[in-house]
Structure 1
Amino acid sequence: MNNVDSVGPPDPVSNLRPIKYHKPKHESLVERKLRLKRIEVAKWNHEFWSSHNLRFVKERDAYKKCLADKGIPTANADQMSEFYKDFLDRNWKTHLTYNFEWYKKNISIVRLMMNTNIYKAIQWTKKFKF
């Protein structure tokens, strides 16, 4: 199992599963670029969701405390849905920016994957002298 990527348990804050990318023994330059780009994007994604989720929990706890201060010990589903909607409305631009960047980063990974596959195909044809 040393020649495959491995996936760990979800991070308690970001809720993302970390991936340890396999490094081939004779890694080519294009394979290295792809692996490093995937690591970079995973780190960026983890940082975004860690920050976002910490902010969400902090604001949710503050909302619940505000309700408790008003004599409402437990928030019901309607009250929490109001909080969720408000949170999403206040963070829509952040989510929009995140999604735009996420797509750009994934397109760059797809490009690198295509380059890697083309390189491997060329190496394969050289090996069999096609």
Structure 2
Amino acid sequence: MAAIRRFSSQLIRDKSYVSSAHPKSHINLIANAVPQDESDSEKNYRKLFEENQLWNHNYWQDNNTRFLKEKAEFIEKQRLQQGDDSIAFSQEDLIPFYKEFLDKNYNKHIEYNREWYRRQFKLLIPAFQAYLASKKRSLKRFFPSSR
């Protein structure tokens, strides 16, 4: 999120931005536009969306960091067993590691998927409310009340 928040507050207010993939989580973070006349429902949706994005980012950052650390340990162990520090490993050579990593983290990934779906469903009603508030604001701009 910090990478996105480097934009000036005026830019963030006017447009949404998508960052390049984060180097550890590989997630493209999104900074949503914040209209000056943002409604409570739009703000609620935006905050929930940002929470979900941060949760997702943190999960994948931790998972990918653990994956790379364990992969490096596996390669080092294989090199020690074979007595050669210069051995290059192909994807096929790493199949036992991939299987072990996935098996060991199976329950974490299942729990992540369940939580991800729960969070997405939890966003549906706030997203619909924010959509209606946005359309209501657009209609007010298009049809200003005559006073």
TM-score normalised per structure 2 = 0.78
Give the residue type in structure 2 aligned to 1:32. Answer: K
Which amino acid is 1:67 matched to?
Q
The residue aligned with 1:116 is 130
Regions of 4+ moved over 4 Å: none
1:29 paired to 2:40: yes
State the AA in 2 paired with 1:109: L
Aligned pair partner of 1:105 in 101, 115, 119 = 119
Aligned counterpart, 1:78: 92
Q: Say whether 1:20 aligns with 2:31.
A: yes
CA deviation after TM superposition for structure 1 residue 3, in Å: 2.6
TM-score, normalised with respect to structure 1:
0.88
For 1:50, the equivalent position in structure 2 comes to 61
DSSP-derived class of the 1:14 partner: coil
Q: Which runs of 5+ in 1 are unaligned?
A: none
Alpha-carbon deviation of 1:122?
4.9
**CA–CA distance in 2 between the matches of 1:29 and 1:102?**
24
Structure 2 unmatched runs, 5+: 1-10
Shift of 1:78: 2.6
Distance in 1, Cα, partners of 2:94 & 2:36: 52
CA offset at residue 121 of structure 1?
A: 4.4
Answer with 69-78 or 81-90: which moved more: 69-78
Indicate the RMSD between aligned Cα atoms, in angstroms.
1.9
- Report how many residues are paired: 128
